[in-house]
A and B are shown apart, each in its own frame.
Chain A
C-alpha cells in the first residue's frame, strides 16, 4: 500500500491564525481525501481533493474555512483558516484508487490544538 506522509504531526496555534497541513504520498493515486476527527469522536469527511481543480466539499464544510490544493497526483494541502478552539481536532488525509472495492489508506494525522 502507499506510504503517506503528513506534516506537521501536531501543532499548537493561536486563535485567529491559519495552518497548512501537507499530505505527500509515495505513488500516484487517483483519490485524496481530508477528514476531521474531533476529540473523542469518529472521522468526518471534509472534502475530496481534486487534482488541478477545486475540491469537492461535504455539507458543513466550506472552501473559505478549509481551502484545499492538489497540484499533482501525489501531494495535497489542507489549510485551516481563522482558527478557533472548536477547530481543535485531528486532521487526516487518505488516499485511494477510484474503482470498485479498493481500501483507503490514511496518514498518521495532524493533531491540532487551538488556544
Chain B
C-alpha cells in the first residue's frame, strides 16, 4: 500500500500564526486530498488537488503538490482556535474506484 507519512505528528501554534503540514506518499496518484477530523469524529473534506496541479487555494487553505518528490503540503493561514483538529492527507490511485490511502496525520493545536 502507499501509506503516506506526515510531519509534524503534532503542531502547536498561537492563534493568528500560519500552520504548515507536510505529507509524503510512495506510489503514483490520481489526486491527493486533505481532510480534517475533530475529536475523533467523522472526516471533513478540505481540498482535492489533481496530479497535474501544483497548487490550489480554498479560503485560508493553500495546498501544494510535488509529484516528483511525492509530497504535498497544507498551509493554513491566520489560524483560529476552531482550526484545532487532526489533519490527514489521503491519496487516490484508482480514480475514485478504490479507497483512499491515508497518511498518519498531524494533530494541530491552536492556542488562543
Contact = CB atoms under 8 A, between A and B. Distances in A.
Interface residues of A, number: 34
* Most A Cβ at <10 Å: residue of B1, B98, B105: B98
B33 A111 contact: no
Contacts, number: 79
B31 interface: yes
Contacts of B101: 45
Given A101-B31, A101-B48, A101-B50, A31 B42 contact: no
A1 B101 CA distance: 21
Contacts of B103: 42
Contact of A104 (B41, B45, B104, B105): B45
Q: State which size class the interface on B falls in.
A: 20 to 34
Contacts of B97: 31, 98
Contact of A33 (B1, B30, B33, B99): B99
B40 interface: yes
B75 interface: no
A3 B104 CA distance: 26
Interface string A14-25: 000000000000
Contact of A106 (B40, B42, B48): B42
Interface of B: 1, 30-31, 33, 35, 40-45, 48, 50, 88, 90, 92, 95-105
